[in-house]
Chains A and B, each alone.
Chain A
Amino acid sequence: MSLTPDDCEEPKFVQLKTCEGFIHDVETCLVEQMGTVRDMLLLECSDSTDVIPLAKIEWWIMKMVIHWCRLVQDNSAQKEARDRSSMFIELLEEAKGDDEVVFQLLLAANYLNVESLLDAGTQYLADAITTCGSAEEIRNRFNLQNDIPSDEYEP
């Protein structure tokens, strides 16, 4: 929500309203990363000053997503997946996030169609899965229930 006119060519703002009614002012160039919003803007008149409602996002998640978009913009030179995932980890640690935050971010990235965040989040979880050794460890890590009947076990 801060003004960074150096980053954008046209410092136009887009207003995004999250589910509680909180309105975020986001630079257009950041919003371009969000596929859903981008498409919404295309469909509507580009001069529209309406607030774009995002009913499925909460305000704190929105803030993180905007922060992420800004990070991507600032580091657009390093587009490698590894850098992206380390950016993701930084983002998480800043927000002192736990599993809940990760999954919420993933859902938000899916809803807003921010591909970079989706890739980073899924990679983060994939790494978490591979670091687990056995199926039991995976279950413990993610609190999954083993509901496979024993006769359906396959090698």
Chain B
Amino acid sequence: MSGRKHRGSENMENLCPITRKRSTNKCGPTPAVSATKSGHYELPSSPSALTYEALEEMGIGMLDSEESSSSALSAIALAVSATSDDNSNETTPYVNVSRMLHHQQQRLNMSSTADTTLDSSSNNTTVIEDAQQRLVRQSAEKLQALTQVKRSALGSETGSNSNSPSKRLRNPLVAVTCNNQSDAAAPLNLQPSTSRQAQMRLAKKPVVVPPPQTARLVPTDSFFVYRTPSMSAHISSGINYFERLSDEIVLDIFKWLPKKTLLRLSTVCRRFNRCSRDETLWTRLDLGLRTLRPGALEQILSRGVLVLRLAQVSIQDPAFTPSANFKFRLQYLDLSMASISKGSLQMLFSHCRQLKKVSLENNDLDDNICAEIAQNKSLEAVNLTMASGLTASSVRLLMESLTNLSSLNISWTDLTADAVTALVTHITPNVIRLNVAGCRRVLFDSHVVTLQKRCPQLLELDLSDCNSLTPAVIPAIMKFKMLEYLSVSRCYLIPASKFIELKSMASLTYLDIFGMLSDAAMEVLEKQMPEMGINKFIHSSVSRPTVGTRRTSIWGLRTRD
């Protein structure tokens, strides 16, 4: 660098007074930049160094009058464009603007970091910052040209080794520092140059480029991204502390955040995207009463949700893309009153193999869906209240497959007699809670007999509204030695006198016989069975995910973090 300085000072007499002063100061500040500035004419490692070196080498001058323009950028553009015309014919003004930009940016960085050596007043910082920001904005677009710059500059560098005096008139870098050092208030009053070069430059127009939206640079094939430390220091004004934290700590931070924020975080940066998708953050989710866009359900389930409440949700088709071929980790699913198409439902269950409890209350089913549900061998509780589309074959398949089932609610499903037969014949003995209410005219005493033989350990049995049951069913019921709850509400064929026989069942604690007796008869019965809780439960809770007004949990599991 010292060598260049000498050369520059040789031609001082050609410079205007102010630029002359600048050039002596120029070499003073040590650049805060890394080894892009070297004292040698080696091939530069980065384009910024290239521009600086190359331009210095070429002794690019600058028209002083252009410096007085408000845009330092345009001034530089003029300078570079004219200069490179001297040096090489291939470069375009546009290209050279970019070259100068980076280079001015560096100079500005340098000068701002080395304030003590320059005579800059405090007002200059605003000038610097404005110019810098302009440059930062425009530099993002100019990078593409840099590759060309590099190539062309390389070519021109070799050609300009002659160091002709005319070329080393003014150093544009000098002009840059000129901006920094001048009074911010007054425009730069530099004497216009009368050289031939200057007049040529006057004729050129600067290239005005619209500033891009962000200064962030995305690498693509056609250009590369580089950033010197001093540039980085000004583009992102701080240190990224998150880099120091381990993923574990980042997850600890994210665990406090609501789901909406988690979704927002996934668009911040790659690391956040990865961390915000961690399955520990998405174990439970409550989307009740919402509408899910097509594909949204797949996104949700892909995050590994374990407990999902979709009660009264409207799921738009198509809920799944064909490419979804991973199994969902879903274990507890509440689709009560949800509006979802059969195709989506089938796709949903085809990906679920770990379900433990599912509620499909009021859903439309078909044989395919039931076949997929049946594949979840670990199902313990199934709620099919008011579901439609159950056939004898699907019921049989479900009962045969779900051997771990402990509670089943299949009430009001319009089962046929065959379906009921299939149910009681194949139901797993593990069932301890069963609700078959509403099987009007299809559920007979014989079914209860079969059921009792199949599941002698039943604890809870709801036979309400099975109005084909006759008094002969009572002896069969009495054989349930562990039954604690029984409902035969509105089974009108059974007379009141029969209920008293139930008193001898030691285990029976609760009896529901709604709609059977007049108030007077009820009083009599209560006197005769003082230990029995009569008509205590209006609604069945067998397999129901939410009981009463509590909506923040399903089957006792929290749905909100």
Contact = CB atoms under 8 A, between A and B. Distances in A.
Interface stretch (A7-15, A42-50, A68-76, A142-150): A142-150
A139 interface: yes
A148 B249 contact: no
Interface residues of A, number: 32
A135 B244 contact: no
Interface stretch (A17-25, A88-96, A117-125): A117-125
Which of A107, A125, A127, A152: most chain B Cβ within 10 A? Answer: A125
Given A122-B256, A155-B299, A129 B240 contact: no
B257 A103 contact: no
A103 B236 contact: no
Contact of A143 (B240, B245, B266): B240
Given A126-B253, A155-B299, A103 B241 contact: yes
A129 B249 contact: no
Contact of A135 (B248, B253, B264, B270): B264
A135 B269 CA distance: 9
Contacts of B242: 103, 142, 144
B237 interface: yes
- Where chain A touches its partner, the secondary structure class is helix
B249 A147 contact: no
A129 B236 contact: no
Contacts of A125: 253
Interface in B202-223: 214, 216, 218
A138 B264 contact: yes
B267 interface: yes
Nearest to B244: A103
Given A107-B245, A148-B273, A138 B238 contact: no
B538 interface: no
B258 interface: yes
B261 A129 contact: yes
Contact of A110 (B248, B267, B272): B248
Nearest to B263: A155
B264 A134 contact: yes
Contacts of B296: 155
B531 interface: no
Interface in B453-470: none
A148 B270 contact: yes
Nearest to B214: A146
Nearest to A127: B256
A99 interface: yes
A138 B236 contact: no
B186 interface: no
Nearest to B216: A146
Contacts of B244: 103, 107
A154 interface: yes
A100 interface: yes
Contacts of A126: 253-257
A66 interface: no
B268 to A, nearest CB: 5
Nearest to B277: A154
Which of A107, A129, A130: most chain B Cβ within 10 A? Answer: A129
Contacts of A155: 263, 293, 296, 299
A134 B240 CA distance: 18
Interface in B68-96: none
B261 A143 contact: no
B268 A143 contact: no
Given A122-B256, A126-B254, A142 B266 contact: no
Nearest to A125: B253
B280 to A, nearest CB: 14
A107 to B, nearest CB: 6
Interface in B260-288: 261, 263-270, 272-273
Contact of A107 (B249, B264, B270): B249
Contacts of A122: 249, 252-253, 255-256
B549 interface: no
A144 B242 CA distance: 8
A143 B237 contact: yes
B239 interface: yes
B269 A139 contact: yes
A146 B216 CA distance: 8
Contacts of B2: none
B45 interface: no
Contacts of B255: 122, 126
Contact of B267 (A102, A107, A148): A148
Nearest to A100: B241
Nearest to B258: A130
Given A110-B246, A139-B268, A155-B299, A145 B241 contact: no
A103 B253 CA distance: 11
Contacts of A102: 241
Contacts of B216: 145-146
A110 B240 contact: no
A150 B267 CA distance: 10
A31 interface: no
A98 to B, nearest CB: 10
A125 B253 CA distance: 7
Contacts of B272: 144
Contacts of A153: 267
A126 B258 CA distance: 10
A59 to B, nearest CB: 18
A139 B271 CA distance: 12
9 contacts: A110-B248, A118-B249, A125-B253, A126-B256, A130-B257, A134-B264, A146-B214, A147-B270, A155-B293
Closest 8 CB pairs of A and B: A126-B256, A143-B238, A103-B241, A122-B253, A122-B252, A135-B267, A135-B268, A143-B240
Interface of A: 99-100, 102-103, 106-107, 110, 118, 122-123, 125-127, 129-130, 134-135, 138-139, 142-150, 152-155
Given A142-B240, A143-B236, A143-B237, 11 more contacts: A100-B239, A110-B246, A122-B249, A122-B253, A122-B256, A126-B253, A138-B264, A143-B238, A144-B272, A145-B216, A146-B269
